[in-house]
Structure 1
Amino acid sequence: MRRRDARVQEPGTLGAHGAARHGEARSTPRHMNAPKGLPLWLKITSVSVSVLLVAGIAFAAYWVIRLQSNISKAPLTAGATRTEAAANDATDRLQILILGSDTRDGKNSQYGSAQDSAGYGQSDVMMLLDISADNKRVSLTSFPRDLLVNVPKCTDPKTNTVYEAHNNVMINSAMAEAGIGCAVDTVNKLTGLEIDHFMMADFNAVKELSKAVGGVDVCVSDAVFDPDSGLRLPKGTSKVEGEQALAFLRTRHGFGDGSDLGRIQAQQGFLSSLTRKVKADGTLSNPQSLLSIADVVTKNLTVDDGLASVQSLLTIGTRLKDIDLSKVAFVSVPTQPAAVDINRLELVQPQATQLFSAMRANLDLTNPGATAAPSPSASPAPTTAPSSGAAAPAPSSPAAPAYNKALQAVTVADGSGVASRGQELTAALIGGGFTKAGHFLAASASKTVVYYGTGYADVAPDVANLLGIPAAQIEPSPGIVGVQVYVGTDFTTGTKFGMVSVPADVVKQTAGDVKCQTVNPYLITQ
């Protein structure tokens, strides 16, 4: 006989005591219950977030692939050696050469003949975009297509053909033989800079970009019709896009005196207006608008290898979104009709050299007269004995010299390698009273030295002080008659050694200025 408490239970049942005590009728132990399902709202939210995340990734991937496939690229240089490390596109100062190609192939065939589409073409527009590291200053410096320059030796990256250097040729021809990299090398040689990137756009890019932003406002002084470009506008302000925007930028004779300088002013006015519109519309802060513009631009753009990524292009675009319009400077390289051909242009000295020095020193070009102080080692110092051990020249004094400046033999030996440099410093010496000063070209030298001959120990310090040359760089030289200022590559700008300043009148307008273009009188219509 079994005890009552030990009776056997059927599998899957509860004992009578268990059911009575807990008031439950269960088929399995409590710890074996399946968990309850998630709330419906949480399920819906989880699914929605997952869908949105996948859609977002797919959308981003689509645009990255699309934009990346749009981009064409080419080498940054055509054989020139670089001395600077690659710039950080997000944080460093950036210098980007912007080119407009005049090739007539593909979508641009309607603007010329088959002959015009051969080879690399020429640069119809050339501007150097300079963005400061803190994103507070931007300058666009225009180089006229008719400017005569020296093009260095370049190598065609496609054929490896080497093209020898060309002297005194138009700057727009720099890329015709060896490609865009040769144009970059030419501007580097001309300015002493090392450009970080380039962007080259064609005619179609202008048309599509102007449409993408909804048109650009331009102003003309009179009604104008240019049969060559097709530009036709009434007097006053008009909104241009597509073909009329391209005609406004292309016209060679529509503005000013009908020269390339008038066209440059019109191009700067157009870009100034475009900058104001993009900023007012918040385009650079609107992802949808930014993607639309990026899609249009990249379809008609060639960039260097370092810039051939969507991220790099978007990074540069976002750096410009908060810029003060008054600090977006449109600059023109100082030029004048060339002595060898009045239909071409040459640099005006010393203003051009001063501008390039100011650019190398990263000065604010919207602040004329701004200077970069010389380093302490370049500052005039108390007179010391020359390294040769000869007696030191007498220190200069504010009192009148014991000699007549107008009778002293002073020459400038120009070893700077900069055109007209000797002439510039000779003018400064004559202005300082040394009216017999002259100049001549000399072999290149790295250091500027003031040499003096027998009997001129008292004159040399005054000549040096006039030009701001340190007394430590004054040396006796018995073979010299009078005083000779041997100018080296350390003194390529200004009339004060070590000083760099922004020349006046290089900034023609800022993005905050609204200007009307003066129409060429020959193209004014009623």
Structure 2
Amino acid sequence: MVQSSVRGKGTRPRAGHAGELGWDDSLYDKNGDAAQDGDDGPPAEPHGQGGQGGGRRGGVEGHPRRRRRVLRWSATVLAVVILGTAGAGYLYYQHLNDNIKKDDLNIGNAKDRAAESKPNAAGQTPLNILLIGSDARDTAENQQLGGARDTFGGPPNGDVQMLVHLSADRTNMSVVSLPRDTLLKIPECTDPKTQHVYPELTRAMVNSSLGRGGPGCTVATWEKLTDIHIDHFIMVDFSGVVSMADAIGGVPVCVDKNIFSHTSSGHGSGLKLKAGTTYVKGTQALQWLRTRYGFEDGSDIARTKAQHQYMSAMVRQLRENATLSNPNKLRKLAETATAALTVDKGLGTVANLYDLSTELKKVPTERITMTTMPYEYAGERVVPKPGDADKLFRLVREDIALDGKDTPKKKTTPAPAAAPTDSDDKIAVQVQNGTRTSESGPVSGRASTVAGLLVGKGFTEAQADSSTVLSEDKTVIRYPSADLKGDAERVAKALGIPTSSVQKSTDVSGVTLVVGADWTSGTTYKVPKEDNKTPTTANVLNGADKKCMTVDPAYTW
């Protein structure tokens, strides 16, 4: 067997996970009618209504007395290897490997990469996988499914982006979605195929990162935003979603009223379902994932919630109901799963994908927590919500379960401090005022006060930056490159600031101290009690939650 290169012990956002993504709602070329069921879909749930695209009828094929072992799709990918002789199995295994499309993991500047995740006291390491949904109109099938003929062959957008964090001890999983219209700084990226260099953008929609050299630029953008090291990515396009949904037999979704996502001007995904639970598959699954008009307030945030519900339902469906005992179905699923994906080179074999699936399925469904990055509006777009977004990223970065059910972690010996580059009197420090909050303005003079405090402690090169006022919940010290880490830690030690508040950031040009809302008075910094509760603004959804999506009455029928 080929040795896996998946970090930790492997990972697994099965191909199905990548298929749990959705895209923008540009004009949909279909007539809006729901796709019809195939003959081999799953049975309807007891309370389902079987609407369009169909709840399963009959309920016999999926459930009878199965005494043979249940095979989840993630385990079946490798099973094809032993269907024939050793030689034939090996050839087919190589064929499946060749199906998988591969791309570079991170095409930003190497110096901007987030530090690798640290192992816990038991030596276990977390895994971070970025799921990307591409809206590329690069094939006839993707063009037909996506509409918008004028964009055929143009740069793709990454309209769905979800970070899957698998805890080091494999007891829980956190998922963080980023709204597609989030305005962010997008780093410089180099196209690995053409070597074209895309310059840094100071404020652009995050979904445009995919068109700047490929998924590696989206990974670089996430790392710059979150300071979370991303180990792998999995990307799927329109046709991949359709083929995967067909291959697994459909995913149960629920709406509280009949829905038809269609406007008089022709916008909408075309999704048409009856109230209750329906197993969506093929084109109809894509419609669900793209629907904005018709869910709740019609925002991209509501669409993200629908994508989370689809993802949760798919996990439950695969674990509870999916069986593949027919070799032909098994072979079809293996073909579909491998052909649907684009992954980084570290996941580019069936063996590595299988290792990934093995690790992910260790997490109980009820320990999967879906969230959306806390945001606030900036015109018609959104930006990360100060404080709350940073807190959510910190919890993931520090491997803290978002469901609040972590077992107490063993204390680890802190890493030794880095050596400063020079004596205190030669360390340049810029001090900024970050005491502004959403409820109150900045506390006047804090940057000058703390700069003076540093000068009194021997940091004579410390200066206040009175031109900049920021919003930081916690006092933080940032440094731009590894050679200045020791200087930043030396400043932190002098002021009694914990090293956990010393962060690498390419947003600064030198050691920069931002006085946060936790230090609004006095000259002695008091370390605040750590609050590890997931922000309520993260729109938390538990993986075991089976709630129905709320339908806007204007889109019911």
Scaled by the length of structure 1, what TM-score is found? 0.67
Distance 1:66 1:324 in 2: 33
**Counterpart selection for 2:161 from 111, 114, 126:** 126
**Counterpart selection for 1:63 from 57, 73, 92:** 92
Q: Contact 2:255–2:551 (CA<8 Å) still a contact in 1? A: yes
Structure 1 residues 467 and 191, CA, compared in 2 at 3 Å: closer, same or farther? closer
Distance 1:186 1:147 in 2: 12
Where in structure 2 are the equivalents of 1:113-192 lying within 5 Å? 113-192=148-227
The answer to whether 1:503 aligns with 2:534 is: yes
**Counterpart selection for 1:108 from 142, 146, 158:** 142
The equivalent residue for 1:404 is none
Distance 1:422 1:238 in 2: 50
The alignment partner of 1:296 has SS state of helix
Structure 1 residues 196 and 222, CA, compared in 2 at 3 Å: closer, same or farther? same
State the AA in 2 paired with 1:250.
Answer: R
Where in structure 2 are the equivalents of 1:458-497 lying within 5 Å? 472-473=494-495, 496=527
The equivalent residue for 1:348 is 385
The answer to whether 1:520 aligns with 2:552 is: yes
**Counterpart selection for 1:438 from 444, 450, 453:** 444
**Counterpart selection for 1:215 from 239, 244, 250:** 250
Report how far residue 126 of structure 1 moved.
0.5
Moved over 6 A (4+): 85-88, 284-290, 368-378, 439-442, 466-471, 489-495
Report how far residue 56 of structure 1 moved.
3.9
State the AA in 2 paired with 1:267.
Answer: Q
Structure 1 residues 312 and 257, CA, compared in 2 at 3 Å: closer, same or farther? same
Structure 1 residues 87 and 317, CA, compared in 2 at 3 Å: closer, same or farther? farther
The answer to whether 1:97 aligns with 2:119 is: no
Report how far residue 494 of structure 1 moved.
7.5
CA displacement 1:255-287 (0-9 Å, x = unmatched): 111010010000000111111011113669999
Where in structure 2 are the equivalents of 1:13-92 lying within 5 Å? 55-81=84-110, 82=113, 84=115, 92=125
Distance 2:118 2:409 in 1: 23
Distance 2:324 2:355 in 1: 11
The alignment partner of 1:337 has SS state of strand
286-295 or 159-168, which moves further after superposition?
Answer: 286-295
Q: Contact 1:76–1:197 (CA<8 Å) still a contact in 2? A: yes
Q: Contact 1:491–1:497 (CA<8 Å) still a contact in 2? A: no
**Counterpart selection for 1:422 from 415, 424, 435:** 435
State percent identity of aligned pairs.
32
Distance 2:173 2:324 in 1: 16
Q: Contact 1:358–1:500 (CA<8 Å) still a contact in 2? A: no
Structure 1 residues 358 and 370, CA, compared in 2 at 3 Å: closer, same or farther? farther
Q: Contact 1:353–1:492 (CA<8 Å) still a contact in 2? A: no
State the AA in 1 paired with 2:443.
Answer: A
The answer to whether 1:244 aligns with 2:258 is: no
Q: Contact 1:217–1:239 (CA<8 Å) still a contact in 2? A: yes
The answer to whether 1:272 aligns with 2:308 is: no
The equivalent residue for 2:469 is none
The equivalent residue for 1:40 is none
Distance 1:346 1:120 in 2: 23
Q: Contact 1:353–1:493 (CA<8 Å) still a contact in 2? A: no
Q: Contact 1:222–1:519 (CA<8 Å) still a contact in 2? A: yes
Q: Which runs of 5 or more residues in structure 1 are unaligned?
A: 1-51, 379-386, 389-411, 416-420, 443-447, 455-465, 476-486
Q: Contact 2:244–2:340 (CA<8 Å) still a contact in 1? A: no
Distance 1:361 1:490 in 2: 21
**Counterpart selection for 1:258 from 288, 298, 303:** 298
**Counterpart selection for 1:330 from 370, 379, 392:** 370
Report how far residue 84 of structure 1 moved.
4.8
Distance 1:291 1:493 in 2: 58
Q: Contact 1:276–1:325 (CA<8 Å) still a contact in 2? A: yes
State the AA in 2 paired with 1:55.
Answer: G
State the AA in 2 paired with 1:313.
Answer: L
CA displacement 1:282-306 (0-9 Å, x = unmatched): 6699998776434212212111111
CA displacement 1:325-376 (0-9 Å, x = unmatched): 11111111001211xx2x1011112100111111111100111899999989
Q: Contact 1:493–1:500 (CA<8 Å) still a contact in 2? A: no
Distance 2:532 2:444 in 1: 25
CA displacement 1:209-232 (0-9 Å, x = unmatched): 222222111111111101221100
Report how far residue 63 of structure 1 moved.
3.2
The equivalent residue for 1:391 is none
Structure 1 residues 212 and 471, CA, compared in 2 at 3 Å: closer, same or farther? closer
State the AA in 2 paired with 1:95.
Answer: N
CA displacement 1:392-413 (0-9 Å, x = unmatched): xxxxxxxxxxxxxxxxxxxx94
Structure 1 residues 190 and 53, CA, compared in 2 at 3 Å: closer, same or farther? closer
Q: Which has the larger radius of gyration?
A: 1
Distance 1:467 1:113 in 2: 47
The equivalent residue for 1:14 is none
Report how far residue 128 of structure 1 moved.
0.6
The alignment partner of 1:501 has SS state of coil
Structure 1 residues 83 and 104, CA, compared in 2 at 3 Å: closer, same or farther? closer
Report how far residue 198 of structure 1 moved.
0.8
Q: Contact 2:234–2:341 (CA<8 Å) still a contact in 1? A: yes
State the AA in 1 paired with 2:90.
Answer: A
Report how far residue 103 of structure 1 moved.
0.8
Task: Give the RMSD, CA atoms, in angstroms.
Answer: 4.1
The alignment partner of 1:438 has SS state of coil
Report how far residue 120 of structure 1 moved.
3.8
Q: Contact 1:363–1:502 (CA<8 Å) still a contact in 2? A: no
